[in-house]
Structure 1
Amino acid sequence: MPDLRFTRYEINYTVVECLECGHRFLSPQPTIESSEFLYHSDYYASRGLTNPKQKKRYLKQAEYLPPAAKGKILDVGCAGGSWLKIAKSMDWECYGADYIRSDYAEPDIDIRFGYLPEIDFPSSFFDVITAWGVMEHIHEPSKYFKYINSRLKDGGHS
């Protein structure tokens, strides 16, 4: 089945479904370079807190944060940091990481752009690391998980 999200880019990706488990994936797999083309900074324009559906989703996601714990949180694939703005209002010290630089980045959130395993955050630094809707975009999951594990404090949550 064609994936209509990519038709405006004139890229022919097909969504393939495994007949045994039902897992769906793009074929051919997008490259890291094509991801930059597909998810340019305009992609994030409608993902801010001014969009009521997005805000409702972000508030629901915030319910998953440990209630009593406050500390450092990293949101991988944070776009412009709108979800982190909610976490910050709950007294979390917020950091974000995204591969694509956003023109809509929250000015009061420390967001670093680039390939996650190459972004320089200290080891054992974060109490919580989130990655909402990110896993399907990752090209080298083992590198990401190794990086996330090394940046998470003992007893931290991901």
Structure 2
Amino acid sequence: MLILFLGACGGTSALETQNRPHNSRQAHLYFIRQPAILSKLGSADLKIDGASVGSLGASSYIEVDRPPGPHTISVFGPILDSVGFEADIKLEPGVSYYFELGPVVHGTNDLLSRSMMVTSGRPIRGRFNATSVYMFYSLDAAAGAASVAKLRDRS
């Protein structure tokens, strides 16, 4: 089912310094949100291990460093999304990870909403409920770096 929320169009705000040199002892994570028809959903709030890392608007990205090991990443939509989507990931030192935001896909009926959000990664397994708006899609390093470069060029 495709639900359109006409929420305020939100911008991107990162709580950590952006575009800093990479630390080879840390993992580098990019959270990406493509331009899309459904960009009027407003900003998506991002958390790692329960701590906020920022809000992500359409056509933007946020980057953060984290130590290697297990972590939980979460995204919450702007309206009626108190549960959000969360996934457990394992990070390696010196590796860049690219996570694209897209709609929660429950089955083949949701492919239309996914195509409208312009996602290209593969869905990540996670926990969510019926009110969850977004989920994470994993991009390989080449596709992720190209996506970030394209968004960087737009700004």
TM-score range normalised by the length of the shorter chain: under 0.3
TM-score normalized by the length of structure 2: 0.25
TM-score normalized by the length of structure 1: 0.24
> Per residue, is there more helix in 1 or in 2?
1
Which structure has more relative contact order (CA 8 Å, sep 6+)? It is 2
